[in-house]
Amino acid sequence: GFITNPLLHGMTVTGRSDKVLWKNEKGMRAYLGVATSGFPNLFFLYGPHTNTGHASVIDFLEPQSDFVTNAMYHVKEHGYKSIEVQESAENEFLNHVEQVAKNLTFSVFKNSNYMSNGRLVNNWVGTIGEYVASLYRIDFGDDFTLGGKMTHEEEGILGRMNEEEVSQKIPSLKDIMFASLVRIPVYTVMLASQFVRISFSLIRN
Protein backbone atom coordinates (compact mmCIF):
# COMPACT_ATOMS: atom_id res chain seq x y z
CA GLY A 1 0.00 0.00 0.00
CA PHE A 2 0.96 3.65 0.23
CA ILE A 3 0.48 6.60 2.57
CA THR A 4 -1.10 9.75 1.18
CA ASN A 5 -1.38 11.65 4.45
CA PRO A 6 1.10 12.89 5.41
CA LEU A 7 2.96 13.29 2.15
CA LEU A 8 6.68 12.44 2.23
CA HIS A 9 5.96 9.91 4.96
CA GLY A 10 9.17 8.64 6.53
CA MET A 11 11.23 11.61 5.31
CA THR A 12 12.48 14.55 7.36
CA VAL A 13 12.93 17.81 5.47
CA THR A 14 14.60 20.65 7.39
CA GLY A 15 14.29 24.26 6.26
CA ARG A 16 15.29 27.69 7.48
CA SER A 17 15.93 28.03 11.25
CA ASP A 18 15.83 24.20 11.60
CA LYS A 19 12.11 24.20 10.80
CA VAL A 20 10.92 20.65 10.04
CA LEU A 21 8.46 20.32 7.17
CA TRP A 22 4.84 19.78 8.28
CA LYS A 23 5.81 18.65 11.79
CA ASN A 24 3.34 20.80 13.73
CA GLU A 25 -0.34 21.06 14.54
CA LYS A 26 -1.08 22.70 11.19
CA GLY A 27 -0.15 19.57 9.23
CA MET A 28 0.42 19.61 5.49
CA ARG A 29 0.13 22.99 3.82
CA ALA A 30 1.49 24.69 0.72
CA TYR A 31 0.77 27.79 -1.32
CA LEU A 32 -1.19 26.52 -4.35
CA GLY A 33 0.37 23.15 -3.58
CA VAL A 34 3.81 24.17 -4.88
CA ALA A 35 5.71 26.00 -2.11
CA THR A 36 5.62 26.63 1.63
CA SER A 37 7.14 29.37 3.78
CA GLY A 38 10.31 28.58 5.71
CA PHE A 39 11.69 26.36 2.95
CA PRO A 40 13.54 28.40 0.29
CA ASN A 41 14.00 26.72 -3.11
CA LEU A 42 11.75 23.81 -2.14
CA PHE A 43 9.03 23.13 -4.68
CA PHE A 44 6.32 20.47 -4.85
CA LEU A 45 4.64 18.73 -7.76
CA TYR A 46 1.29 17.20 -6.80
CA GLY A 47 1.66 18.70 -3.33
CA PRO A 48 -0.97 19.49 -0.68
CA HIS A 49 -4.34 20.78 -1.94
CA THR A 50 -3.78 19.53 -5.51
CA ASN A 51 -5.34 16.07 -5.47
CA THR A 52 -8.36 15.86 -7.75
CA GLY A 53 -11.55 13.89 -7.99
CA HIS A 54 -12.77 15.33 -11.30
CA ALA A 55 -9.75 15.72 -13.60
CA SER A 56 -6.32 14.29 -14.37
CA VAL A 57 -3.33 14.90 -12.12
CA ILE A 58 -1.45 15.75 -15.32
CA ASP A 59 -3.62 18.87 -15.55
CA PHE A 60 -1.92 20.00 -12.33
CA LEU A 61 1.59 18.73 -13.03
CA GLU A 62 2.09 20.59 -16.30
CA PRO A 63 1.43 24.13 -14.98
CA GLN A 64 3.27 23.28 -11.75
CA SER A 65 6.34 22.38 -13.80
CA ASP A 66 6.04 25.70 -15.62
CA PHE A 67 5.82 27.49 -12.28
CA VAL A 68 9.02 25.89 -10.96
CA THR A 69 10.87 26.75 -14.19
CA ASN A 70 9.65 30.35 -14.08
CA ALA A 71 10.59 30.66 -10.39
CA MET A 72 14.12 29.49 -11.13
CA TYR A 73 14.37 31.94 -14.02
CA HIS A 74 13.11 34.77 -11.79
CA VAL A 75 15.84 34.04 -9.21
CA LYS A 76 18.55 33.92 -11.87
CA GLU A 77 17.29 37.04 -13.66
CA HIS A 78 17.49 39.13 -10.47
CA GLY A 79 20.84 37.76 -9.35
CA TYR A 80 19.74 35.95 -6.19
CA LYS A 81 20.28 32.44 -4.81
CA SER A 82 16.92 31.59 -3.28
CA ILE A 83 13.19 32.20 -3.52
CA GLU A 84 10.58 31.60 -0.82
CA VAL A 85 6.84 32.14 -0.66
CA GLN A 86 5.79 34.73 1.92
CA GLU A 87 3.87 33.37 4.89
CA SER A 88 1.16 36.01 4.44
CA ALA A 89 0.47 34.86 0.86
CA GLU A 90 0.39 31.22 1.95
CA ASN A 91 -2.00 31.94 4.83
CA GLU A 92 -4.33 33.90 2.54
CA PHE A 93 -4.47 30.95 0.14
CA LEU A 94 -5.07 28.46 2.97
CA ASN A 95 -7.89 30.59 4.41
CA HIS A 96 -9.53 30.55 0.99
CA VAL A 97 -9.23 26.74 0.80
CA GLU A 98 -10.74 26.31 4.28
CA GLN A 99 -13.68 28.60 3.53
CA VAL A 100 -14.55 26.84 0.27
CA ALA A 101 -13.97 23.36 1.75
CA LYS A 102 -16.70 23.88 4.35
CA ASN A 103 -19.34 23.43 1.66
CA LEU A 104 -17.76 20.43 -0.07
CA THR A 105 -18.32 16.71 0.39
CA PHE A 106 -14.58 16.25 0.93
CA SER A 107 -14.92 17.79 4.39
CA VAL A 108 -17.86 15.66 5.55
CA PHE A 109 -15.87 12.54 6.44
CA LYS A 110 -13.54 13.65 9.23
CA ASN A 111 -11.55 10.40 9.23
CA SER A 112 -10.82 10.59 5.52
CA ASN A 113 -7.24 10.67 4.23
CA TYR A 114 -8.22 14.01 2.70
CA MET A 115 -8.35 15.53 6.19
CA SER A 116 -5.81 16.36 8.90
CA ASN A 117 -6.74 17.87 12.27
CA GLY A 118 -10.11 18.88 10.88
CA ARG A 119 -8.61 20.57 7.80
CA LEU A 120 -8.85 19.55 4.16
CA VAL A 121 -5.20 19.09 3.15
CA ASN A 122 -5.18 16.83 0.08
CA ASN A 123 -7.79 18.01 -2.42
CA TRP A 124 -8.19 21.06 -4.60
CA VAL A 125 -11.43 22.91 -3.88
CA GLY A 126 -12.16 24.46 -7.27
CA THR A 127 -12.11 23.71 -10.97
CA ILE A 128 -8.96 22.83 -12.87
CA GLY A 129 -9.33 26.08 -14.82
CA GLU A 130 -9.36 28.10 -11.60
CA TYR A 131 -6.24 26.36 -10.34
CA VAL A 132 -4.26 26.79 -13.56
CA ALA A 133 -5.26 30.44 -13.85
CA SER A 134 -4.23 31.09 -10.21
CA LEU A 135 -0.86 29.44 -10.75
CA TYR A 136 -0.05 31.48 -13.84
CA ARG A 137 -1.13 34.70 -12.14
CA ILE A 138 1.42 34.35 -9.33
CA ASP A 139 3.38 37.57 -8.86
CA PHE A 140 6.89 36.66 -7.72
CA GLY A 141 7.46 40.27 -6.70
CA ASP A 142 4.47 40.42 -4.32
CA ASP A 143 4.10 36.87 -3.01
CA PHE A 144 7.71 35.68 -2.83
CA THR A 145 10.95 36.82 -1.21
CA LEU A 146 14.36 36.58 -2.87
CA GLY A 147 17.44 35.94 -0.75
CA GLY A 148 21.21 35.64 -0.96
CA LYS A 149 22.59 37.98 -3.60
CA MET A 150 24.91 36.15 -6.01
CA THR A 151 28.56 37.13 -6.44
CA HIS A 152 29.88 38.23 -9.83
CA GLU A 153 31.59 34.86 -10.22
CA GLU A 154 28.35 33.00 -9.57
CA GLU A 155 26.50 35.26 -11.99
CA GLY A 156 29.12 34.47 -14.63
CA ILE A 157 28.59 30.73 -14.18
CA LEU A 158 24.83 31.06 -14.52
CA GLY A 159 25.27 33.42 -17.44
CA ARG A 160 26.76 30.60 -19.45
CA MET A 161 23.61 28.53 -19.11
CA ASN A 162 21.65 27.96 -22.28
CA GLU A 163 18.79 30.44 -22.10
CA GLU A 164 16.64 28.09 -24.14
CA GLU A 165 16.69 25.59 -21.26
CA VAL A 166 14.86 28.02 -18.99
CA SER A 167 11.52 28.94 -20.50
CA GLN A 168 9.88 32.29 -19.82
CA LYS A 169 6.78 31.59 -21.82
CA ILE A 170 3.59 31.91 -19.83
CA PRO A 171 0.50 30.75 -21.75
CA SER A 172 -2.45 33.08 -22.03
CA LEU A 173 -5.77 32.30 -20.38
CA LYS A 174 -7.12 31.66 -23.88
CA ASP A 175 -4.51 28.91 -24.37
CA ILE A 176 -5.31 27.45 -20.95
CA MET A 177 -9.05 27.33 -21.59
CA PHE A 178 -8.52 25.79 -25.04
CA ALA A 179 -6.35 23.03 -23.55
CA SER A 180 -9.04 22.32 -20.94
CA LEU A 181 -11.83 22.20 -23.54
CA VAL A 182 -9.85 19.77 -25.71
CA ARG A 183 -9.78 17.31 -22.82
CA ILE A 184 -13.55 17.40 -22.22
CA PRO A 185 -14.48 14.99 -25.09
CA VAL A 186 -11.82 12.56 -23.87
CA TYR A 187 -13.23 12.53 -20.34
CA THR A 188 -16.77 12.20 -21.74
CA VAL A 189 -15.80 9.11 -23.74
CA MET A 190 -14.07 7.61 -20.69
CA LEU A 191 -17.15 8.13 -18.52
CA ALA A 192 -19.44 6.74 -21.21
CA SER A 193 -17.33 3.61 -21.59
CA GLN A 194 -17.40 3.06 -17.84
CA PHE A 195 -21.17 3.47 -17.82
CA VAL A 196 -21.53 0.87 -20.59
CA ARG A 197 -19.30 -1.59 -18.74
CA ILE A 198 -21.30 -1.17 -15.52
CA SER A 199 -24.59 -1.56 -17.41
CA PHE A 200 -23.46 -4.84 -19.01
CA SER A 201 -22.30 -6.11 -15.64
CA LEU A 202 -25.70 -5.41 -14.10
CA ILE A 203 -27.48 -7.08 -17.01
CA ARG A 204 -25.39 -10.25 -16.65
CA ASN A 205 -26.15 -10.41 -12.95
Q: Would you call 131 exposed, middle or buried from its count of C-beta atoms within 10 A (0-12, 13-18, 19+)? A: buried
Residue 8 has φ and ψ, to the nearest 5°, of: 60, 35
User: What's the CA gap between 90 and 47, in Å, rounded?
Assistant: 14
pLDDT single digits (tens) 29-49: 899 999 999 999 999 999 888
pTM: 0.70
* pLDDT over 70, % of the chain: 69
pLDDT single digits (tens) 157-199: 555 554 545 445 555 555 655 555 555 555 555 555 555 565 5
